[in-house]
């Protein structure tokens, strides 16, 4: 993942693995999923400070016209313990069919000030490996 802004104040750590925002920075990355698979669940590990609920975005962008569609049913996570937490977020409208023909997929996470991104998992099913 990379920081989304030129003035973002953040820190990376590899033991334990995490991206920590010092000033409300957000992080994003592209996601590659097998063609024809179905996204069934999304999980994210994070920490956040009191009254600083993080937001997460999983979206599909139409490459022909640039419009994006949110794939998560909820984008705000209630969590303010300051400790490592897990959120399992449902997929909007049920499972989502992956089409790499004409679409790109991306993940964004905004942990809030002094919050951190610890990792994410996208569960999917498929009948053939596609790509």
pLDDT in tens, 12-26: 665 565 666 667 778
Mean pLDDT of 75-104: 81
Q: Which is higher by pLDDT, 82 or 4?
A: 4
| pLDDT above 70: percentage of residues in the chain | 79
- What Cα–Cα distance (Å) separates residue 10 from each residue in 54, 85, 94, 119, 128? 15, 19, 34, 16, 39
CATH number at residue 96: 2.60.120.260
Kindly indicate the confidence band of residue 119, based on its pLDDT and cuts at 50, 70 and 90. Answer: confident
- At residue 38 the predicted structure's pLDDT band, cuts being 50, 70 and 90, is very high
Residue 131 lies in a domain: no
Range of the domain at 58: 2-125
- How many domains does one find in the chain? 1
C-alpha 2/C-alpha 62 separation (Å) is 22
Rounded CA separation 72/59 (Å): 8
Q: Does any domain span residue 105?
A: yes
Q: What are phi and psi of 10, to 5 degrees?
A: -145, 170
């Amino acid at each position: 993942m990379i920081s989304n802004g030129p003035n973002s104040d953040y820190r990376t750590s590899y033991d334990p693995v995490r991206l920590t925002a010092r000033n409300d920075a957000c992080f994003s990355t592209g996601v590659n999923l097998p063609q024809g698979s179905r996204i069934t669940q999304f999980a994210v590990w994070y920490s956040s400070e009191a009254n600083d609920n993080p937001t997460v975005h999983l979206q599909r962008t139409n490459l022909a016209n640039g419009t994006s569609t949110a794939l998560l049913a909820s984008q705000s996570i209630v969590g303010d313990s300051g400790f490592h937490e897990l959120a399992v977020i449902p997929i909007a409208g049920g499972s989502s069919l992956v089409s790499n023909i004409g679409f790109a997929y991306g993940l964004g996470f905004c942990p809030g000030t002094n919050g951190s991104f610890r990792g994410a998992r996208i569960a999917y099913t498929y009948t053939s490996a596609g790509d």
